[in-house]
Structure 1
Amino acid sequence: MLAPVVFSGLLLVPGRLEKVVEAIVVFTLISASVYIFNDLLDIEADRKHPFKRKRPLASGELPVSLAVFAMLAGVIIGLAWAYAMNMFFFGICLTYLVVSGLLYTYWLKNIPILDVITIATGYILRVYAGAVVIDAHMNVWFLLTVISLSLFLAVGKRKSEMTLLRGSGNTAAVRETLKRYTEELLNIYTAMFATASWLSYALFTFNQPRIEFEGKVLTFLSLLPKTFLSEKWLMATIPLVVYGVMRYMQLIYEKNEGESPERILLSDKPLIITVVLWGVMVLGLLYVA
């Protein structure tokens, strides 16, 4: 959700970052409610699952009554807060609730391909939510990057889940949708969307406005010979994105950790360092240079 305010050049405009942070809090309330709702409906199946049985509801650590209260409170407070902020933001939050909370839970999660697209839609809606609250324009290549990366993460979840379940020997716990995917097919999907992710990002950086170093920290770059100059300095971040995608794929195939993208981003040191370096370079080029 922070990406639109960063790449639109509005990060330092008073009030814009605060609005995005507020939107993140609201969307977190709503998405958490959706996750609780899904866990409530799948509680019996999760108790038979070799890994999901450790979740708070399935393990019994979180009482069902408390989970229901938290879910309802999150939905009511989140939607009311979103409505007070922005009508379009409210519409996106409501769409997320309907698509990820109702359609996915009762129907789409049982349909191959559509289940992956629905998971990816949740990531895409987050980015749109961050954009509408500050009325930011999103470059078409940026949108393609978000779509490709979202599909890459969604397919990675399916790939890791299949590998983990088969490795545990508990094939009975494999959800019906996974039985419709073959390992080779998921490998193809993963490679396809991994390539689309870094390539669309590369095209996005190429189409960014030229960066001129005038009177700031990086003014010395203007003294370099034309051999080393480029009008598209944001393209310097492409190698980090390529490495990040490759590292994520390594974790999916080698350690089977793609089932939880957020856990990977917060636990894998090489990936954390890559994301931090990428963020520093982007902020430096867009706001310091």
Structure 2
Amino acid sequence: MNTHTQTTPEVVNARLTLDVAYILNGEVAGDLVARLYMMCERAIGNGLLTGDTAAEVEEYALDVSLPREPLSEDEIAAFMRQRIEDGNLAAEDIPVRLARYGLMASDAFVAEMRERMDMADEETQGQALIPSADPADEGEIESQVAIACINASGMSEMPIFTVRTTQEEYDLGIHRDKAKDLAEEAGYEWPFVCFDAAEQGAILSAARELGLVPQVVVVDMTNRQIQSVRCDVGQVKVICYDTSELGGYSSATAVRPVGENGQLVRCWAHTQLAQVDPGLKLARD
């Protein structure tokens, strides 16, 4: 963008073109395209396409081209080897993790929970416990780290990882870095927000008890137009879409993974962050 010769408009339209060279690990092409749509939507929602400008993306379209012929094993091996040599991919973690999500900083979250609730640590039940693959060395200590992250299905999760460090490394927080490495190797996606394993039960209980995630979303459609989008608590992105009267091709329509179970749907769509309205807590019942 040449900021010296032109003024950035407040509202812009965007068209993204992605050429997929390789589909690896037996992934279904339709699933890959759906994930690409979701990643681009997050990028647009986080302002990554408009940089430091005040512009907002009002409408966007995404064109994805897939390879026409299946790749040979030699081609795939050469591609992966080059990625590893370039330092862009760890040999132990072939899937490339692109999705990034924003969460409250772990220290701030724990401090808020302790301030708002006097809750004893609870025993962890039904959570994944993933040990370190490295043998214990003499002088090392073993610790457990809970990580709030995203699993391969795109759902939030808080698995526990067992790591081993020296006391000095532990004091420097390296045990959390090792836990993040284990999380990535296990196929989890960023962001990785670390907690002590003993805090996991309290955090999960606090999130449930305090209703930190929206439970009610209200869309005012007076006069068949979106007048307002509100939720009872927190922050949630709401997508309203319409598949009627699509007609011919239009830059205002796009294929989006908004159908049931993430099904791709060509539609008109409007994305908006819901405004918090505490009074909607009355509508939960």
Superposition TM-score, scaled by structure 1 size: 0.21
Structure of larger gyration radius: 2
Superposition TM-score, scaled by structure 2 size: 0.21
